[in-house]
Amino acid sequence: MKILGISGSLRRESYNTKLLRAAEELLPAEVEFELYDGLKAIPPYDEEDDGEDAPESVTALREAIAEADGILIATPEYNSSVPGHLKNSLDWVSRPLATNTLRNKPVVVVGASTGAFGAVWAQAELRKVLAAIGARVVDAEVAVGHAPTRFDDSGRLVDENLLSDLEETVEALTDEVRERSLFALTNIRS
Amino acid sequence: MSSTTATQTWVLDPVHSSIGFEVAYNGGTFRGSFREAEARFDGESLAGSAKVASVDVKDENLNAHLQTPDFFDAERYPELTFESSEIERSGDAVTVRGGITIRGVERPVELTGTIGEPITDAYGRERFGLTLVTAVDRTDFGVNWNAPLPSGGNALADEVKLTSELYFVPAEA
């Protein structure tokens, strides 16, 4: 099983990227984890640039999603919503809608913010966007509020309750991936 | 049943049959249909299925959206099915009770409509028509998508009318 982590925050010291690293440590040893690092290269969406000659940065993201069995997205909250760049990247991935690589893919959304609420509004909107794209959005949430107080100097998540929430959420994602495989087998046999 | 339709097994003539849905949306009525369906009728029982992948609405993006976990979740539940438990007939009026399964959830349902006597068509083949309608609450089946309107309320109603205009021909021996 392979899980792809996508951070909606681009800066090196991002709390959301640290949250993904914390999730990686909670995954069982047999699960492969890749932290996607190509989001910054993605240009603004333009249908005229899409198709067979889509930008390499876009093709790379589409392929990385196709190769993963499940997706874990950590989002900050910009002005009460999803960061524009993350939304723009997903807009690229969503085309064409009927065959996009997120379709039916199990996805979990988590989030961290420096404020009290842990990006809950951005997370809710991101789940709506992912469902519209056709992803299999797992009903789970981790909201890391007051993020600077939740990680230690080496960037490790140290809040026990949040670690427990994150572990449950990561497990919900891997369970959903397994369930998808079982449904695929059942439907092939019937 | 005393009708001649009870004396043999009939299957759907898919070209001349239509299976559709109607739902209140945004102040109007939105309609769609399923292009691929099968059914069998033998007088005592009626069973049928429709392929979710064949859902047909007038927008390719909406067709694509209807396949996803937001709506029918075609990957997991590729078919909608119906199986009767009881058929009552009075003249050309018919009531069919049974179970309908959408998204893997089965619920009891009562369909009402009309049934015709078999006729011989222009090609010498027997056929008869059966029209059935019912209404279901889509949220009973986990088809929960909605969009809140800026003015309040939701864009899409929960109650969905299911309509089927079916033509049956004798099953091949």
**pLDDT tens digits, B15-63:** 999 999 999 998 899 999 999 999 999 989 999 999 999 999 998 999 9
Residues paired with residue B170 on neighbouring β-strands, in sequence order: B10
Model confidence over A103-140: pLDDT tens digits?
999 999 999 999 999 999 999 999 999 999 999 999 99
Q: What was the pLDDT predicted at B26?
A: 87
List, as one string, the DSSP characters of A59-126. Answer: HHHHHHHHH-SEEEEEE--BTTB--HHHHHHHHHHT-SGGG-TTTT-EEEEEEE-SSSS-SHHHHHHH
B78-B54-B25 Cα angle (round to 5): 100
Homologous superfamily, domain A2-189: Flavodoxin domain (3.40.50.360)
Domains in chain A: boundaries:
2-189
Pairing of strands B126-137, A143-144: unpaired
Q: Say yes or no for a CB contact (<8 Å) between A134 and B64.
A: yes
Q: A187 and chain B: CB distance < 8 Å anywhere?
A: yes
User: A180: distance to nearest CA of chain B, Å?
Assistant: 8
For testing the chain B interface, which of A97, A105, A133, A189 should be mutated: the one with the most B CBs within 10 Å? A97
Q: Say yes or no for a CB contact (<8 Å) between A132 and B65.
A: yes
Q: Which residue of B has its CA nearest to A95?
A: B61
Q: Say yes or no for a CB contact (<8 Å) between A183 and B76.
A: yes
Model confidence over B136-158: pLDDT tens digits?
999 999 999 999 999 999 999 99
Q: What was the pLDDT predicted at B4?
A: 62
Question: Interface of chain B against chain A, CB under 8 Å?
Answer: 60-61, 63-65, 67-70, 75-76, 78, 145
Q: A158 and chain B: CB distance < 8 Å anywhere?
A: no
pTM of the model: 0.90
Q: For residues A187 and B79, what is the distance between their CA atoms, to the nearest angstrom? A: 11
Q: Which residue of A has its CA nearest to B67?
A: A134
Return phi, psi of residue B112, to 5°.
-125, 155
Q: Which residue of B has its CA nearest to A187?
A: B76
Q: Say yes or no for a CB contact (<8 Å) between A134 and B76.
A: no
Q: For residues B82 and B50, what is the distance between their CA atoms, to the nearest angstrom? A: 9
Q: Quick one: pLDDT band at residue B173, thresholds 50, 70, 90?
A: low
CATH number at residue B8: 2.40.128.110
Domain enclosing residue B10, as ranges: 4-170
Nearest by CB to A187, from B68, B70, B78: name it.
B78
Mean pLDDT over residues B88-96, rounded? 96
Q: A41 and chain B: CB distance < 8 Å anywhere?
A: no
- State the total domains in chain B: 1
Q: Quick one: pLDDT band at residue B3, thresholds 50, 70, 90?
A: low
Structure ipTM: 0.86
Q: A139 and chain B: CB distance < 8 Å anywhere?
A: no
